[in-house]
Amino acid sequence: MKTLTPRLRSLSSKQSLLQHHVQQLPIGATAALSSHITTTATTTSGTTRPFSVLNRPPPNYPGHVPLTGLERAALAVGSGVVSFFDPYRHDMIAALGEATASPYFIERLRRAMLSSRTGRRILRDRPRITSASLDLPRLRALPANTVGGTYVAWLDREGVSPDTRDGVRYIDDAECAYVMQRYRESHDFYHALTGLPVVREGEVALKAFEFANTLLPMTGLSLLAIATMKPAERGRFWSIYGPWAVRNGLRSDEVINVYWEEEMETDVDALRARLGIETPPDLRDIRKRERAEKKRLKEAAAAQAVAS
Amino acid sequence: MAARIPVTSAGVRVSTRCPSFPFVSSSSRHLRPFSTTLRNRQPELTSTSTTSSTTPISNNGASSKSSSSNDSSRTGTTHFGFQDGLSESEKTERVAGVFHSVAESYDRMNDLMSFGWHRISRDHFVSSLNPGLSSSHPPRPQRILDVAGGTGDIAFRMLHHAHILNNNPSVHVTISDINPSMLAVGKQRSLSLPASQQASLSFLEADATAPVPAIPAGSLDLYTVAFGIRNFSNVPAALSEAYRLLKPGGVFACLEFSKVANPAFDAVYKRWSFSAIPLIGQLVAGDRDSYQYLVESIERFPSQQQFRGLIEDAGFVVGGDGFENLTGGVAAIHKGMKPL
């Protein structure tokens, strides 16, 4: 089941508490500017300090943009609306994920990683999944039943590349930002692991699985896209893929803790068995059969119309 | 859920504009050097733009602005938003990147950021210049150069004012811009003008801070630049070049963002600029960094008095205050005349 571990007072947070008290001393003209409309920002590893948009704290990692609470709320609402109406805006979906993950959910995911030996190794090594870091030709040479073989076959079949992922910018803690980045880059592996295609229906099903497994709010909010699916797709979601996603997401291990770079040569079924994930019905097959059936019915109706 | 579109083998994403909805999709983001969505190809751009955004705005910035523009002529370094120490060619390149990226959504973003008010400012700017006014019959020809006016906002208004309101068809407007993407947008938009106005319009790709060979010295009646001069890598050089191209009695006119006089309004305006503008840029155009640069460049631009001083230094004669504040100082119109 989900590890909802309590937040532990670590040594680092004690140190940053001390820093927080020291830094409350006034620091000249800029303090006057940042008086009224202020909110909090992380300093090094945890505690926050009020800041104004005119005086943002230095970034904690390259690309970091510290946001005030109001800005984060506005980004969450705005990116939610835009990504609902235009799901091709990946940057908006990414921004929605980052804006809604703080403060609790991304911390919970990080604690889940810290609770596992492999998770801790991933956090220490901080591997990145890009077309540069993965050796795609080597993966193509692997057998089709391995994780690497399935992944690259899926990449080729769907026509996507491992590079189409934005960098995390709006999560203040650098390690939590890495956790979010890792989740984002592993998303393609979740596709390969579950076999769900990149069509809207497959993405929604995968998001339901991710929500049950990672508890990130964006994955849950993405399920609002069920409203944009066709009736047949919606029916399949409620009867097949939704229950599959919830059942498997909850009972399986945390997929964030899979060290994908080391699992390239593992047999996919063995990995699924190890994680506790059952393969869902092949969605592409179902859709193909449904399209063929519709076509057959249309042709029959046309023939009938001609005959009568 | 990202219902993702396939990527071609070259790694360039195919454009998918959602036609029924006004938000620009991320079609050209891979081509933008500024965007973090690019796989960290130029990480220094993202890191430096955010370090720049965290520099506190203090009154020290104001006094350094005039010295920074003087510095650029001596040491050759200039600033890009809040980042200092760039060479002029670097700034030119970075600004090019910004405007390549904003060209498509330029008009829509202007409307969103200013709630449509930029149209009023531009209308007032052109009306106050009254291009095409001539007391002689037949009316005297006038040659106008609109610099950094790629998308044509000012030029089209001037053509309308001269040809229609002042009934002077012998006014010729040249639109000059350093950025071909912005010029392309302008050319596209000019196709919907009446034929006589299109015939009086020409486009020129040129750097305003360097001598422009296509325009003879002392040939212009009017030199305008609207919301462009703060992006120039060398403002005094551009002013000198304007002075050279104008004929004696010719007018230099500049519409630019400036300092707000009222402190309470200024506090609101600055907070809107630094938090809402980049957010709108991110939501609508998918490009936070370009709009962060834009608001930083507004902050770094000299005040009304300082810019008036620069215009006088270039040799222009400036009357009265030398500037007219619009919207309480959010924008200001500066004018100068080349002495006879």
> Nearest CB to B21: which of A85, A91, A163?
A85
Instruction: Report the alpha-carbon distance of residue B113 to residue B223 in Å, rounded.
Output: 27
pLDDT tens per residue across all 308 residues of chain A: 454 555 554 444 444 444 444 444 444 344 444 444 444 444 444 556 788 888 899 999 999 999 999 999 999 999 999 999 988 888 999 999 999 998 899 999 999 999 999 999 999 999 998 877 788 888 888 888 898 888 888 788 777 787 767 889 999 999 999 999 999 989 888 988 888 888 889 999 999 999 999 999 999 999 999 999 999 999 999 999 999 999 999 999 999 999 999 988 899 899 999 999 999 999 989 999 999 999 999 999 999 998 87
> What value, to the nearest 5°, has the Cα angle with vertex B288 and ends B286 and B291?
115
Nearest-CA distance B283 → chain A (Å): 6
Supply the ipTM of this predicted assembly.
0.77
Q: Which residue of B has its CA nearest to A64?
A: B50
Q: Which residue of A has its CA nearest to B279?
A: A75
Are the Cβ atoms of A87 and B11 closer than 8 angstroms?
no
> Nearest CB to A203: which of B3, B36, B275?
B3
Are the Cβ atoms of A62 and B270 closer than 8 angstroms?
no
Of the candidates A26, A181, A71, A164, the one whose C-alpha atom is nearest the C-alpha of residue B275 is A71
Q: To the nearest 10°, the Cα dihedral for A143, A149, A154, A157?
A: -50
Residue A50 preceded by cis peptide, ω within 30: no
Nearest-CA distance A252 → chain B (Å): 21
Instruction: Say if residues A23 and A57 touch (Cβ distance below 8 Å).
Output: no
Instruction: Report the alpha-carbon distance of residue A182 to residue A95 in Å, rounded.
Output: 15
Give the helix ranges, DSSP H, for chain A: 11-23, 29-33, 69-85, 90-101, 105-114, 117-125, 136-140, 147-158, 174-194, 200-214, 217-221, 231-236, 242-251, 268-275, 283-307
Nearest-CA distance A294 → chain B (Å): 23
